[in-house]
Amino acid sequence: MHRPKLLFVVTEDWFFASHFLPMARAARELDLDVVVIARERQHRRVIEATGARLIALEAERGSLSPLALLRQVQTLKRLITAERPDILHCIALKPIALAGLAGRLAGIERRVYALTGLGFLGARQGQLAALARLAARTWLREAIDGPGVRFLFENPDDPVMLGLDPQNKGKVAIVGGAGVDPLVLMPEPMPPAPPLKVALVARMLWSKGVDLAVEAVKLARAQGARVELTIHGAPDSSNPKAIPETTLKEWAARPGIHWAGPTRDIEGVWRAHHLCCLPSRGGEGLPRTILEAAACGRAILTTDVSGCRSFVRDGQDGMVVPPDDAAALARALMVLAGAPGLVERMGASARNRLLDGHTERDVMDAVKALYRGLLARPQTDVAA
């Protein structure tokens, strides 16, 4: 008996392992044959433990050379043609742009485009960013769209930016981020206060607003607030927008700032801290770090950008301040440093917010419904 095949295309094995294993498990619950194409580093075992099969594809994420992109499309077309998936699921903007075209050329009609955030397109302002958004919207909607294509988002703002109606259930699905397991990440008692212990867990990119958090702590401490910041994350050498290690070390030399590097002990991070801070400049889907902190019963201080504002209710689950505004961030830190009871109540509310549609099981069920809907339609009805 033929088992329908699902083929994921994603940039990195670590990215799939950290964010999309629930989707692979959801597909296995539907008894799909699951294959993942990604650049392989150290996560084959974790991915294949779900029952999926990993195909390693070496490609440089930072390259925008037209010739290199054409070669990637040709390579992807060859791999997709060889696998002949019933559904092609492309994750993040560049794989969507390249594998979406390759899948269309290979005759794969059922395609899922998962926009996990708009990155540069969402974070930057100005004429160049506007032109880039127009180019992306044109490519997605004209070159690689089709009746068999479904768009998967993590917040209701991103589809609007791409000219899609978030209420169009036949074209757009919105899931609660990557989803976390609330039975694995559980609330634990707050550490002693003061000081207010704040953690920022993210890739070390300028778009994450790490510099804003550092400046805000400096401002708040200058006003007498007892607040400390721990930064967890590593520079991403493949990303041109990475914060240099020298800058991180310089920040860590300042009073009240500690750079702890990357961590896998998320429970340990939130056990030792009162507050999650992510002063993003934009381009987010629904940040996993926010979901993990909420699962652990920690309040969230973030900015009024897509993804962050769709989860955090200002004054209820934490505080939402304008983006790129260190002074506003500092004022929020001063309020929270002086109100430990409020911080604890916000953390409990954030946990309840997570349980309402943002768990791993919620995401798995939504993705299963998406796959079932696509597989129920004959290929001839969804020709791109």
Same domain, 369 and 307: no
Residue 324 within any structural domain of the chain: yes
pLDDT for the residue numbered 162: 84
267-297 pLDDT, tens digit per residue, is 999 999 999 999 999 989 999 999 999 999 9
Does 60 have pLDDT greater than 70? no
Same domain, 349 and 297: yes
Domain membership of residue 68 as a residue range = 5-177+359-382
Residue 365 within any structural domain of the chain: yes
Same domain, 273 and 303: yes
Same domain, 56 and 204: no
Same domain, 205 and 92: no
Question: Binning pLDDT at 50, 70 and 90, where does residue 137 land?
Answer: confident
Interacting residues of 90 by C-beta distance below 8 A, sequence separation 6+: 8, 9, 10, 96, 99, 100, 103, 111, 112, 113, 114
pLDDT for the residue numbered 332: 98
pLDDT for the residue numbered 77: 97
pLDDT for the residue numbered 381: 40
Residue 200 within any structural domain of the chain: yes
Residue 184 within any structural domain of the chain: no
Average pLDDT, the chain: 92
pLDDT for the residue numbered 380: 53
pLDDT for the residue numbered 383: 38
pLDDT for the residue numbered 364: 96
Same domain, 147 and 203: no
Same domain, 320 and 286: yes
Q: Cα–Cα distance between 86 and 269 in angstroms, integer?
A: 41
Which of 171-180, 350-359, 375-384 has the highest average model confidence (pLDDT)? 350-359
Interacting residues of 144 by C-beta distance below 8 A, sequence separation 6+: 96, 97, 100, 101, 104, 111, 113
pLDDT for the residue numbered 382: 40
Residue 361 vs residues 26, 89, 182, 187, 232: alpha-carbon distances, Å: 9, 19, 10, 19, 27
pLDDT for the residue numbered 235: 85
Same domain, 124 and 256: no
Does 264 have pLDDT greater than 50? yes
- Side chain identity at 361, as an amino acid letter? R
Mean pLDDT throughout 327-356? 98
Mean pLDDT throughout 43-70? 85
pLDDT for the residue numbered 384: 37
Tokens coding 116? 């996990």
Query: Are residues 241 and 207 in contact, defined by beta-carbon separation less than 8 angstroms?
Result: yes
pLDDT for the residue numbered 61: 56
Mean pLDDT throughout 80-88? 97
Q: Cα–Cα distance between 323 and 328 in angstroms, integer?
A: 9
94-130 pLDDT, tens digit per residue, is 899 999 999 999 999 999 999 987 665 555 666 776 7
pLDDT for the residue numbered 342: 98
Residues forming beta bridges with residue 5, ordered by sequence position: 33
- Side chain identity at 170, as an amino acid letter? G
Same domain, 92 and 208: no
Residue 188 within any structural domain of the chain: no
pLDDT for the residue numbered 377: 75
13-50 pLDDT, tens digit per residue, is 999 998 999 999 999 999 999 999 999 989 999 999 99
User: Which CATH number characterizes residue 94's domain?
Assistant: 3.40.50.2000
Same domain, 211 and 277: yes
210-262 pLDDT, tens digit per residue, is 999 999 999 999 999 999 999 999 987 777 889 999 999 999 999 999 999 99
pLDDT for the residue numbered 68: 85
- Considering only residues 125 and 380, tell me which one the structure prediction assigns the higher pLDDT: 125
pLDDT for the residue numbered 206: 94
- Counting the structural domains of the chain, the total is 2
Same domain, 28 and 154: yes
Percent of the chain with pLDDT over 90: 79
Residues forming beta bridges with residue 314, ordered by sequence position: 318
